[in-house]
Structure 1
Amino acid sequence: MGKFSTLVSQAHSLAGPSLALIYPLYASVMALESTSKLDDEQWLAYWIIYSFLTLVEMVIQPALEYIPIWYDVKLLLVGWLVLPQFKGAAFLYERFVREQLKKSRGTSQTQTQTHNKGKAKFVDFIIPKKGEHEAH
């Protein structure tokens, strides 16, 4: 029974990084290479939510030490976020993150104009217009 227990323990410890990082990295690259925007949204939402979860986990780490099933709960949560059958990351983003962004941004015309000006300046900085060359 000792070898089986060790094998299960090792598989369990590999499941988290595989499910939370390796598969999402692969799927994100595949999404970027596909023509569909839906998969891009799913994986961007995943990385946003996973980053937030990781930050929260870092902050409350001392409390998590008293919750022995935290790793299992996190594994289930990440599975729900990642697996295409559930699209949990896209759901959470649409339901909570986007709603909070809408509330904090507001929809005033001046904010939209200011945002568009800043965006245009950034684009102009990154992609200079034709005829604007640096002197070397």
Structure 2
Amino acid sequence: MGRLWTLLTHVHSLAGPVVMLLYPLYASVMAIESTSKVDDQQWLAYWILYSFLTLTEMLLQSILEWVPMWYTMKLLLVTWMVLPQFRGAAFIYERFVREQFKKQGLVRGDGEHSHAGARNKFVHFVLPKKGAHEAY
């Protein structure tokens, strides 16, 4: 039983990098090389969500250390996002992320980008208003 448990532990450890990075990297290259835009959307959505998940995980690391099944839950979520049968990344992006961008005025309802709105919001975020530094 000890050897089986050791084997399962190693498989579990290797599954993360394979599912979260190696397969998505391969599939992203194949998507770029294909003529279809459907797979491009899936893999762009995946990398957006994976980046967000990684940043969230970094911020909440001290809390997530206390969640015993966190890595397994993350692995299951990412597996669902990458499997072509489910197109989970595209689903999450369409259902949740795009809606937030619409609310912020960064994406129009037809899927087109609102470059002027995004640029103005970014400029206001990066460059403080005049006199704002004097308040400190």
Q: CA deviation at 1:102?
A: 1.0
Q: CA deviation at 1:103?
A: 1.1
Q: CA deviation at 1:86?
A: 0.8
Give the aligned partner of residue 26 of structure 2: 26
Q: Which runs of 5+ in 2 are unaligned?
A: 121-136
The two structures have a TM-score, normalised by structure 2, of 0.78
Structure number with greater Rg is 1
User: 5 Å matches for 1:44-63?
Assistant: 44-63=44-63
User: 5 Å matches for 1:57-76?
Assistant: 57-76=57-76
> What's the % identity of the aligned pairs?
64
The two structures have a TM-score, normalised by structure 1, of 0.78
CA distance in 1, matches of 2:115, 2:85: 39
Give the aligned partner of residue 92 of structure 1: 92
Q: Which runs of 5+ in 1 are unaligned?
A: 119-136
Answer 1 or 2: higher relative contact order, Cα 8 Å, separation at least 6: 1
User: 5 Å matches for 1:1-136?
Assistant: 1-105=1-105, 112=114, 114=116
Runs ≥4 residues deviating over 4 A: none
Change (3 A) 1:36 1:71: same
The one-letter amino acid paired with 2:116 is T
Aligned length: 114
Q: CA RMSD in A?
A: 2.1
The one-letter amino acid paired with 1:66 is W
Give the aligned partner of residue 123 of structure 2: none
The one-letter amino acid paired with 1:71 is Y
Q: Deviations over 1:27-60 (max 9, x none)?
A: 0000000000000000000000000000000100
Partner SS, residue 105 of structure 1: coil
Partner SS, residue 104 of structure 2: helix
